[in-house]
Amino acid sequence: MKYWQIAAGSIGRDYGKDFVRYGMAFVGGHRNVTRMAQVAAGDRVLLKKGTSRIVAAGEVVVRNGKHRGENDKAWLRDFDGWDLRGYCFVNWHVPAKPWPTTGLTRTTIQNVLTRRLREVTDEIISSVPVHESLDPEPGETRPIPDEQIVEYLIAQGLRPGAAEDLTDTFRRVRLLARYYYGQNRVDIREHETRTFLVIPLLLALGWAEQQIKIELPVKNVGRADVACFSKPFTRSDNKCVLIVETKGFNQGLHYAHRQVAGYAKQFPTCRVIVVSNGYCYKTWIRQDGEVFAETPTAYLNLLNPRDRYPLDPDNVQGSLEVLRTLLPYSLV
């Protein structure tokens, strides 16, 4: 029996709760997937947060005839834009509070060799009940080809003459996003994603430069990364209808909507908020009054457009709805 330490993402994209809710552990990247392939049934795993806390411990188990897999779960291939193709099944034991400890490393997955960490792992497993209430894995989704996207958007108001520019923008954004994806993602900051990926898409969808403000000061809140207006912006008539919060490539999308919703409160006319890292988009539509729901309305991964959100296909729409929502014709 081996012991392993594993991290569930990082600050800004922590998916440790998803490890527990599905009774799994999953990783991406060639090196990490190779290490995951070495995990055996009966091995013990500690789930770490940073280098000083253990949030859960568990045992690798067999389900449906296997204890691990790779590349065979489509929903893990687009985990808010992350390809987490390697996984194993785990019976997790989650203490009420994280256990402070020492000796953890920053590596995503590796063997635990120190006696103290092994003892802590054993102690959690023996003293904390197993988390038995697991969620079913997300259902299947379908790919959406560009031709279908363009035909749908034309039916929603996109000028047919703009279709070629839009498909060219898809191609350029994908080329650059794939290039960024292969780099050190920490170096791809939100300024790059906003300038080279997000703004070109908004322009191709029909927004005019005069309708877009970048880093717009919002009183008592901060600066909205991208704000779109119903007509050319003036201080006396600033009817904002869409706000986009942009993030760097190494940051997650699921936590930032509260930040952008705070900006939207200052603009009663803002109907849609968006969080994007340049190739993945999540949208929220304003509900009754000033409320934006916790669950997004729709999700788009420009590198892999699908008909529904891979992580919640039952409740969250997909690529077509995101792009329809981003059309100025749907908001003005």
- List, edge to edge, every strand of the sheet that includes 280-285: 212-218, 222-229, 240-246, 272-276, 280-285, 298-301
Q: Is residue 36 part of a domain?
A: yes
Q: In this predicted structure, what is the pLDDT of residue 263?
A: 84
**Residue 112 shares a structural domain with residue 154:** no
Chosen domain end from 74, 97, 127: 127
Calculate mean pLDDT across residues 179-200: 87
pLDDT in tens, 172-184: 999 999 998 887 7
In whole angstroms, what is the distance from residue 157 CA to residue 155 CA?
A: 6
Q: Is residue 52 part of a domain?
A: yes
**Residue 284 shares a structural domain with residue 168:** yes
Q: Which CATH number characterizes residue 262's domain?
A: 3.90.1570
Domain count, the chain: 2
Q: Is residue 140 part of a domain?
A: no
Residue-number span of the structural domain to which 109 is assigned: 3-127
**Residue 155 shares a structural domain with residue 283:** yes
pTM recorded for the entire structure:
0.92
Q: Is residue 138 part of a domain?
A: no
The better pLDDT of the pair 190, 215 is held by: 215
**Residue 98 shares a structural domain with residue 152:** no
**Residue 152 shares a structural domain with residue 119:** no
Q: Which CATH number characterizes residue 66's domain?
A: 3.10.590.10
**Residue 258 shares a structural domain with residue 212:** yes
pLDDT tier at 187, thresholds 50, 70, 90: confident
Q: In this predicted structure, what is the pLDDT of residue 109?
A: 95
Q: Is residue 134 part of a domain?
A: no
Is the Cα torsion angle 14, 143, 249, 46 positive or negative in sign?
positive
**Residue 116 shares a structural domain with residue 172:** no
**Residue 105 shares a structural domain with residue 197:** no
Q: Is residue 266 part of a domain?
A: yes
Chosen domain end from 127, 161, 179: 127
**Residue 51 shares a structural domain with residue 193:** no
Q: Provide the H-helix boundaries in the chain.
A: 16-22, 30-36, 74-77, 115-127, 146-155, 163-181, 190-193, 199-204, 257-264, 319-326
Q: Is residue 136 part of a domain?
A: no
pLDDT in tens, 36-79: 999 999 999 999 998 999 999 999 999 999 999 999 999 999 99
Q: Is residue 83 part of a domain?
A: yes
